[in-house]
A and B are shown apart, each in its own frame.
Chain A
Amino acid sequence: MIDEFIVNALIAGVLVAAIAGPLGCFMVWRKMAYFGDTISHSALMGVALGIAFDSENPIIMIATCSAVAIMLLFLQRDRRFSSDTLLGILAHGTLSIGMIVISMMDHFRTDMMYYLVGDILAISERNIYTIAGVVGITAVCLFFIWRDLLSLTVHEDLAHTEGVKVSRIKIIYMLLIAFLVAVALKVIGVLLITALMIIPAAAARTISKTPLQMIMFSSIGGIAAVISGIAASSQWDVPTGPAIVLCATLLFLIGRFNIFKKA
């Protein structure tokens, strides 16, 4: 008999991992891992605003993350600042806002640790519905844009000439990440959500021959990491988020060093 909170954790984790890997593949291909970090740091501002408005509505988080993504697109128009500089500014700017807002609320004392590494064992049934909704929408959107997104990842001008709506696809992709980060925060936390996107994608690279294979394997690898991470966490009573990330890292190392390859 498995406890209900473990079942909830498994469902939420598997849902998030199933789509985090594919989104992470594009992040790896587009060399924008830091973008995931920025969005997740800004999610902490979303947490703070949620507390300030005394609301648990996921819309606040989604709106905050999306606003930061759009802000980035706007700032990128000035070519004097490279993307990674802008990402650093936004990441730490929003993080600081979040921490100041939280510190100003005297009645609120909570362990920040939950937001940093997630609190997957406290996932409620309502959380699962929200996550399932967002993951479903993300999967559908990604299904429709993935070829265009891949094309512009390879070469933007070429994609543009061939009729791909480059800016539109880029905005959609960034918003998909913002949505996912917003709902995944409770599952894996600010510090580790990027890991769940990047590491399964990198692990998948070691065994993939086509982009589609890499997308599929990253999804499978992410799910495997979540299941084994939760199992390890309940077995040895270690924090769940880090356990999941560690399992993903093991997968990457196995792939990277061909540990199971026959001689």
Chain B
Amino acid sequence: MGDNTSPLLRLENVCKSYHKNLVLENISFTVNRGETVTLIGPNGAGKSTLMKISLGILEASSGEVHRDKSISIGYMPQKVMIDEVLPLSVRDFLYLRPKTSYDDVAKALETVRLTRLADQPVQSASGGEMQRILLARAILGKPDLLVLDEPVQGIDIMGQQEIYGLIAKIRDETGCGVLMISHDLHLVMASTNQVLCLNRHICCSGSPEFVQRNPEYHAMMGRPMEGMAIYTHNHGLEHDHEYHHGHDHD
């Protein structure tokens, strides 16, 4: 565990280019303990690339990435396809995480409420179950920083709420920092401290409420403001929920 007050992750003026093509430009942000930072942006905005740079999977072309070397990281990649040729149960998939015991695995499965799947082949899990299995793998080893690439991909709206709730609960209980990618600002509003709107560069950032009112955000997502009203109406129920838990970050 590193110093409790220093940021878990800090990026400074990070740029990334592929074949002279600039895909990320001057990105700076920090993730602190107990805080959730959400990346939001259209397809091809460079969200996953930024995440991989943050994790050290990819090198930045310029700029600096400060990641406390002593911290443990839980990563949830976007898509994990495991070929049928590998006989692997859900339990053994989780057990692949270094320095884990089967006890830890059982607890993590309980946290995501998938104990019943433990002995099943990991390939038999549905899309939503797989996301929860990946979340379980990420929280094994008690991470200081959770990095989640679209944690609710392929999950229905009820399931999405549940996953985001679970992530917030884990964060509040363990005090870890969270960096995640999401498509949907509304669903993550309740549990996010800071939103970064990314479209190759950071268009706008701040508290979710601030970003939601920011025209840059609507321009980036390519949705007119009034379109949002219809959208909000559809999920009116979830909004009650959000306001109760709303973090004010300004």
Instruction: Among B55, B73, B75, B87, find the residue whose CB has the most chain A CB atoms closer than 10 A.
Output: B87
Closest chain A CB from B76 CB (angstroms)? 8
Could you tell me which residues of chain A, from 28 to 77, have a CB within 8 Å of some CB in chain B?
28-29, 31
Stretch with Cβ within 8 A of B (4 or more), from A7-15, A110-118, A154-162, A226-234: A154-162
A224 near B: Cβ within 8 Å? no
Cβ–Cβ contact B89 & A31, under 8 A = no
User: Known contacts A155-B80, A158-B77: does B97 contact A205 (CB below 8 Å)?
Assistant: no
Closest chain B CB from A33 CB (angstroms)? 11
> Which of B75, B87, B96 contacts A151 (CB under 8 A)?
B96
> Which of A147, A205, A210 contacts B89 (CB under 8 A)?
A210
A214 near B: Cβ within 8 Å? yes
> Which of A29, A148, A153, A161 contacts B73 (CB under 8 A)?
A161
A82 near B: Cβ within 8 Å? no
Chain B interface size band reads: 20 to 34
Cβ–Cβ contact B77 & A162, under 8 A = no
- A205 and B97 CA atoms in complex are apart in Å by 23
Cβ–Cβ contact B83 & A31, under 8 A = yes
B68 near A: Cβ within 8 Å? no
B219 near A: Cβ within 8 Å? no
Cβ–Cβ contact B82 & A154, under 8 A = yes
Closest chain A CB from B143 CB (angstroms)? 10
Q: Mark contacts of A209-224 with chain B using CB atoms, 8 A cut-off: 1 yes-contact digit, 0 otherwise.
A: 1110110000000000
Chain A interface size band reads: 20 to 34
Cβ–Cβ contact A208 & B87, under 8 A = yes
A164 near B: Cβ within 8 Å? yes
B106 near A: Cβ within 8 Å? no
Residue of A at shortest CB range from B137? A158
B1 near A: Cβ within 8 Å? no
- A213 and B89 CA atoms in complex are apart in Å by 12
- A31 and B83 CA atoms in complex are apart in Å by 10
> Which of B55, B87, B92 contacts A205 (CB under 8 A)?
B87
B57 near A: Cβ within 8 Å? yes
- A155 and B55 CA atoms in complex are apart in Å by 15
A and B contact pairs by CB, cutoff 8 A, 20 listed: A29-B86, A31-B83, A147-B96, A147-B98, A151-B96, A151-B97, A151-B98, A153-B86, A154-B86, A154-B88, A154-B96, A157-B57, A157-B75, A158-B80, A161-B73, A205-B87, A208-B87, A211-B86, A211-B87, A214-B87
Tell me the A residues contacting B by CB distance below 8 Å.
28-29, 31, 147-148, 150-151, 153-155, 157-164, 205, 208-211, 213-214
Beyond A159-B96, A211-B92: 10 further Cβ-contacts under 8 Å? A28-B85, A148-B98, A154-B96, A155-B77, A158-B77, A160-B57, A161-B56, A162-B98, A205-B87, A211-B87
